[in-house]
Amino acid sequence: MAAAARTVTDVADRRSRDLARIHVLKKELALDDDAYRDLLQAVARVRSSADLDWSGRRTLIAHLERLKKAAGVRDGDSSAVKQQRLVRALWRRLGELGALRAGDGRDDQALAAFVKRQTGVAALAWLNSAQLRTLIENLKQWVARVEAATPAAVTKEPA
């Protein structure tokens, strides 16, 4: 009886560890909920990780690990992904404020050129945490200068 109880506990522990790993990978890949559920549907034919059996969890973890490797995400990089999103958001804000040449607010090439000029690194994804922090602070200061010089009607977000 004790062996059977231990086996059930081991299975439950393994399931919990697998689900935790899936959610860590989801966070590291910066998947939003819709993209994550679409991925679950495509890979394992379920809409919730709670519905995965052992085989489905193994398949999904392997798939997420491949995506992570292909994206060049290292362990613990979720903060870097958030910082990269912030850089892009600040860049878009500068575009909305008219601080960039026409079309540059949404142009990845223009952002890449800016990143290269500021850091000497050719791609935003290749920056380390310290470089990202410096870039973010520079962009924040630029946004603040432009907002200070821009009429209030332009700087207000639409309701």
Distances (CA, A) of 148 to 93, 94, 141, 144, 145: 14, 12, 11, 6, 5
pLDDT of residue 12: 87
pLDDT of residue 6: 63
Short-list 14, 16, 12, 22, CA closest to 46: 22
Neighbours of 52 (CB within 10 A): 22
Q: Is 26 exposed, middle or buried (0-12, 13-18, 19+ CB in 10 A)?
A: buried
Domain boundaries, the chain: 2-71, 78-155
pLDDT of residue 159: 46
Cα–Cα distance measured from residue 99 to residue 147, given in angstroms and rounded to the nearest whole number: 10
76-119 pLDDT, tens per residue?
Answer: 556 778 888 899 999 999 988 888 886 655 578 889 999 999 99
57-71 pLDDT, tens per residue?
Answer: 999 999 999 888 877
Cα–Cα distance measured from residue 143 to residue 124, given in angstroms and rounded to the nearest whole number: 19
